[in-house]
């Protein structure tokens, strides 16, 4: 491996710290120089155990032409994608009610232009090219100068969604520095959120590579690399697992009881999440005392609302909250400014290892628990009649079509069936969600311990 190789990690938010910088990836890159370019402060990287140089990233604001062209292209892509796969829920990924008069006006213009252009794919590409070409020369020159100071041999962007990273990509192209970007999550490609221009894109699986071809046919297959994702490697590290007794002592749990995990969602994904948690608590409370499990409640790391407080108070002893261990500079900031502590990774591994199963509404936690061959229950009934939201809308999202033909999760279809299904799952976990491992294999490249190796090889070749 060339000792002069210098990898520049562009880390636009805290998720990149957790999924890549805490993973095995930096160890696989030992012998190479590592630099970090991020809008997060240097102190955000205090738990990175490898040597690195830090450079502050000032994200530029888009000019009006760039913004309108990009937003119009995004809306056009959503319309185009919805047509391609006959799934209108893809359009739910557009913000139809932004705050502020200026943003509302811009959104209306983008929708108007997007609707007029989406049927002709070349028009979408033209809008995206217009957005790229209207970044000011001064802005590109600023990033060229910064890259010349850093002198990376390659650039790695830890997710593809931040439009303000485009000038860095343009500057890198002009300097002949190869750029690799990862697709942040398994649900992102239908959402029109490919906001950076890279030479190579890293995806989790063959399934995602096929999606890339569907939604971005202009990107050649050779430039889409299936590498898996390092975030699942944590579950294979046995040194992270502590004893059941120690875990119980740390969190006020009864080590003699079985534990189940309720994984909370953010307000937008699951607006009635506290009510679902209460339904689960009520059902568990009716199970015979000797068999009754405790519910471990892990809230969504970016949900600091008080919406669960009354339920947690009412069911003390039945529900044990274990909050995520994240650094939160300011609860009013955008969630991208939050970042996990290393200890939170360990805690999540132990949750999946020690709990019998997980309950949630459509969360990726189904895959995390499948790492230990633990089942997942998806909540599948509405609490109220809400014209803007329903569970069916959630499960019609495009990424859940990957479940077709499989039985990867079990379902709570009504509140009334929760008690018996929980009791059955505690005794016979192997009888439910029989295809959980098959679904995981479809979503993430196996073997799961090679993702960091694949990405390191890609960055140093």
> Average pLDDT of the chain?
96
Whether the per-residue pLDDT at 113 is higher than 50: the answer is yes
Whether the per-residue pLDDT at 2 is higher than 50: the answer is no
Whether the per-residue pLDDT at 204 is higher than 70: the answer is yes
- Considering the domain architecture, whether residues 180 and 107 belong to the same structural domain is answered as no
pLDDT tens-digit readout, 279-292 = 999 999 999 999 99
- Considering the domain architecture, whether residues 364 and 298 belong to the same structural domain is answered as yes
- Considering the domain architecture, whether residues 275 and 393 belong to the same structural domain is answered as yes
For residue 3, what pLDDT is reported? Answer: 53
Kindly state the average pLDDT of the residues 411-418.
98
For residue 1, what pLDDT is reported? Answer: 41
- Considering the domain architecture, whether residues 300 and 407 belong to the same structural domain is answered as yes
- Give CA separation, 14 vs 232, 295, 336, 340, 385, in Å: 17, 28, 6, 7, 36
Interacting residues of 13 by C-beta distance below 8 A, sequence separation 6+:
40, 159, 162, 335, 336, 337, 339
Task: Name the packing angle between helices 101-117 and 121-133 (round to 10°).
Answer: 140
- Considering the domain architecture, whether residues 326 and 418 belong to the same structural domain is answered as yes
**pTM attached to this predicted model:** 0.95
Is residue 419 included in any domain, yes or no?
A: yes
Q: Which of 99, 133, 167 is the last residue of a domain?
A: 133
Inter-residue contact 191 to 215 (CB < 8 Å): no
- Considering the domain architecture, whether residues 373 and 390 belong to the same structural domain is answered as yes
pLDDT tens-digit readout, 37-94 = 999 999 999 999 999 999 999 999 999 999 999 999 999 999 999 999 999 999 999 9
Q: Which of 87, 104, 133 is the last residue of a domain?
A: 133
For residue 45, what pLDDT is reported? Answer: 97
For residue 335, what pLDDT is reported? Answer: 65
- Considering the domain architecture, whether residues 199 and 177 belong to the same structural domain is answered as yes
- Considering the domain architecture, whether residues 216 and 359 belong to the same structural domain is answered as no
Interacting residues of 30 by C-beta distance below 8 A, sequence separation 6+:
50
Is residue 1 included in any domain, yes or no?
A: no
- Considering the domain architecture, whether residues 225 and 325 belong to the same structural domain is answered as no
Q: What is the percent of the chain with per-residue pLDDT over 90, rounded to a whole number?
A: 94
- Considering the domain architecture, whether residues 195 and 80 belong to the same structural domain is answered as no
Query: What residues make up the domain containing 109?
Result: 64-133
- Considering the domain architecture, whether residues 199 and 107 belong to the same structural domain is answered as no
For residue 337, what pLDDT is reported? Answer: 80
- Considering the domain architecture, whether residues 211 and 355 belong to the same structural domain is answered as no
Task: Name the packing angle between helices 273-285 and 418-427 (round to 10°).
Answer: 70
Task: Name the packing angle between helices 244-251 and 342-354 (round to 10°).
Answer: 120
For residue 394, what pLDDT is reported? Answer: 96
For residue 136, what pLDDT is reported? Answer: 97
pLDDT tens-digit readout, 314-370 = 999 999 999 999 988 776 666 668 899 999 999 999 999 999 999 999 999 999 999
Interacting residues of 185 by C-beta distance below 8 A, sequence separation 6+:
364
Q: Residue 399's domain is classified under what CATH number?
A: 3.40.50.2000
Kindly state the average pLDDT of the residues 304-314.
96
Is residue 234 included in any domain, yes or no?
A: no
Is residue 379 included in any domain, yes or no?
A: yes
C-alpha to C-alpha distance for 276 and 415, rounded to whole angstroms: 8
Total structural domains within the chain: 3
């Amino acid at each position: 491996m060339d000792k002069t190789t210098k990898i520049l990690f562009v880390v636009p938010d805290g998720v990149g710290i957790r999924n890549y910088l805490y993973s095995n990836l930096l160890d696989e890159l030992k012998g190479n120089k590592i630099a970090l370019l991020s809008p997060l402060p240097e102190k955000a990287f205090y738990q990175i155990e490898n040597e690195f140089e830090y450079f502050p990233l000032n994200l530029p604001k888009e000019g009006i032409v760039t913004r309108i062209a990009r937003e119009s292209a995004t809306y056009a892509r959503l319309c185009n994608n919805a047509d391609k796969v006959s799934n209108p829920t893809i359009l739910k990924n557009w913000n139809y009610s932004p705050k502020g008069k200026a943003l509302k006006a811009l959104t209306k213009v983008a929708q108007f232009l997007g609707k007029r252009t989406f049927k002709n794919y070349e028009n979408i590409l033209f809008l995206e090219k217009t957005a790229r070409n209207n970044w000011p020369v001064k802005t590109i020159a600023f990033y060229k100068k910064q890259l010349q100071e850093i002198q990376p041999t390659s650039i790695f962007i830890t997710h593809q969604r931040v439009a303000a990273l485009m000038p860095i990509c343009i500057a890198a192209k002009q300097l002949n520095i190869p750029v690799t970007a990862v697709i942040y999550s398994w649900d992102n490609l239908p959402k029109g959120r490919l906001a950076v221009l890279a030479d190579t894109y890293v995806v989790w699986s063959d399934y995602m590579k096929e999606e890339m071809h569907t939604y971005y046919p202009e990107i050649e297959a050779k430039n889409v690399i299936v590498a898996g994702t390092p975030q699942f490697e944590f579950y294979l590290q046995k040194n992270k697992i502590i004893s059941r007794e120690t875990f119980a002592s740390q969190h006020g749990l009864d080590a003699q009881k079985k534990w189940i995990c309720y994984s909370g969602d953010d307000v937008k994904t699951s607006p009635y999440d506290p009510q679902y948690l209460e339904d689960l608590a009520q059902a568990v409370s009716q199970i015979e005392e000797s068999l009754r499990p405790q519910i471990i409640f892990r809230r969504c790391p970016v949900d600091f609302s008080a919406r669960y407080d009354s339920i947690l108070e009412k069911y003390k002893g039945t529900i044990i909250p274990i909050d995520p261990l994240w650094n939160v500079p300011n609860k009013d900031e955008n969630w991208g400014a939050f970042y996990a502590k290393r200890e939170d990774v360990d805690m999540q591994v132990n949750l999946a290892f020690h709990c019998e199963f997980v309950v949630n509404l459509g969360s990726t936690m189904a895959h995390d628990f499948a790492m230990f061959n633990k089942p997942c229950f998806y909540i599948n009934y509405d609490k109220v009649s809400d014209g803007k939201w329903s569970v069916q809308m959630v499960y019609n999202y495009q990424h859940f079509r990957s479940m077709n033909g499989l039985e990867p999760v079990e379902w709570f279809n009504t509140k009334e069936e929760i008690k018996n299904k929980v009791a059955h799952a505690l005794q016979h976990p192997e009888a439910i969600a029989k295809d959980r491992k098959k679904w995981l294999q479809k979503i993430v490249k196996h073997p799961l311990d090679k993702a960091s190796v694949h990405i390191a090889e890609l960055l140093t070749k």
